[in-house]
Amino acid sequence: MSKAEDRARDLGYGTDPLNRAEYTANEVRDAFIEGYEQAEKDSELTWEDMRELHIIFAEIDVDIELCKTNIKPETIGYYQVVLRRFKNLKK
């Protein structure tokens, strides 16, 4: 079950919060707004995230210095690797 489905169930919306036969338009609207606001909060970077990004950048820079990777600094590939490692860390 997805994070959104878990949250909807916790709020008492059942498995299909958009089932208009079960819920009023206001309840559906409120559920949508709450879900959107929660998604915004979940995607915000924290100071802990920034620290982790700093560490990841440093690790990749060391890998480049020690010739453990063929990534060039400050390229799209460099930032893609940072982002991939950060996303894996957040899972």
C-alpha dist (Å) from residue 84 to 25, 47, 51, 74: 39, 19, 16, 15
Extents of the domains making up the chain: 3-43, 47-90
Query: In the chain, count of helices (H) and strands (E)?
Result: 4, 0
3-state DSSP assignment of residue 72? coil
Please state at what angle helix 3-10 crosses helix 25-43, rounded to 10 degrees: 130
Model pLDDT for residues 44-62, shown as the tens digit of each residue: 899 999 999 999 999 999 9
pLDDT value at position 86? 95
Please state, in angstroms and rounded to a whole number, the distance separating the CA atoms of residues 57 and 65.
12
pLDDT value at position 14? 60
